[in-house]
Amino acid sequence: MNRPRIGILGGTLDPIHLGHMDTAVAARAALALDRVLLVPSAVPPHRSAQPVASSFHRFAMTALAVNGVEGLASSDLELATPESPSYTIDTLVRFQARTGLPRTQIFFITGADAFAEIETWHRYPEVLDLSHFVVVSRPGFPVGELSSRVPGLADRITTSGGGRGDGSKPSVFLLDVRTRDVSSTEIRRRLRAGEPLTGLVPASVEAHIRQHDLYNEASFHSTADQLHGQN
């Protein structure tokens, strides 16, 4: 049987926005992925401050964002684990254990800005052996500069069409596409300032934020922590 090719796009997603959606859709199309899972992290390892919205709200917003988008789905893979840092290597180990997929059928999707710091990631370079990596251009961070930023990975990096690699070991695929210049930090700032979110988040996500009064400083210790009565 042909095994599916699955992409994983993880992150704080606080909140998920159209830049995340652009990245997931572009990776799925370019690499012929059967599905891309968007995975909110429980405890982001590279952030000094914890997420503003609770894990319940971040998962709900992710589910709303992907609803009706072909080939995209939300996953609670990280949220169902103990409260420990959501390191990429642990995510990939858990995903392989849950699905039984070989490493060459899994594609971890990340931005060029994050991948430029790959040598600082937990258990580098071992993490690169657990799946393919798909590195997508971000505004201000073109993938063309990565080869010089991480010269030790030159033998892994490819831009070959179809994302097949040599079929025997994981590769690093560079994907030069245009994604919208959006950040969750800017969205939270706009909400605090009472500014519109037009063109930044899916309409369903904005409706959820407004309904639960998320990212309003006065609500950080009330509705931002709760969803359907849970803390």
Residues in the chain: 231
DSSP β-ladder status, 172-175 and 72-74 = unpaired
Does 74 fall in a domain? Answer: yes
CATH number of the domain encompassing residue 103:
3.40.50.620
**H or E element at residue 19:** helix 18-31
Does 208 fall in a domain? Answer: no
| Residue type at 57 in one-letter notation | H
For the beta carbon of residue 75, count every other beta carbon within 10 angstroms. 24
Does 201 fall in a domain? Answer: no
Q: Could you list the residue range(s) of the whole structural domain that residue 23 is in? A: 6-175
Does 187 fall in a domain? Answer: no
**How many structural domains compose the chain?**
1
Does 188 fall in a domain? Answer: no
Q: Where does residue 166 fall: left (phi above 0), alpha (psi -120 to 50 degrees), or beta otherwise? A: alpha
Kindly report, residue by residue over 105-126, the tens digit of the pLDDT: 999 999 999 999 999 999 999 9
pLDDT at site 174? 96
Q: Which residue has the tokens 């969750």?
A: 184
Does 156 fall in a domain? Answer: yes
Does 101 fall in a domain? Answer: yes
pLDDT at 85 over 70: yes
What is the DSSP secondary-structure string of 59-121? HHHHHHHHTT-TTEEE--TTTTS-SS---HHHHHHHHHHHH---GGGEEEEEEHHHHTTGGGS
Kindly report, residue by residue over 22-47, the tens digit of the pLDDT: 999 999 999 999 999 999 998 777 66
Does 213 fall in a domain? Answer: no
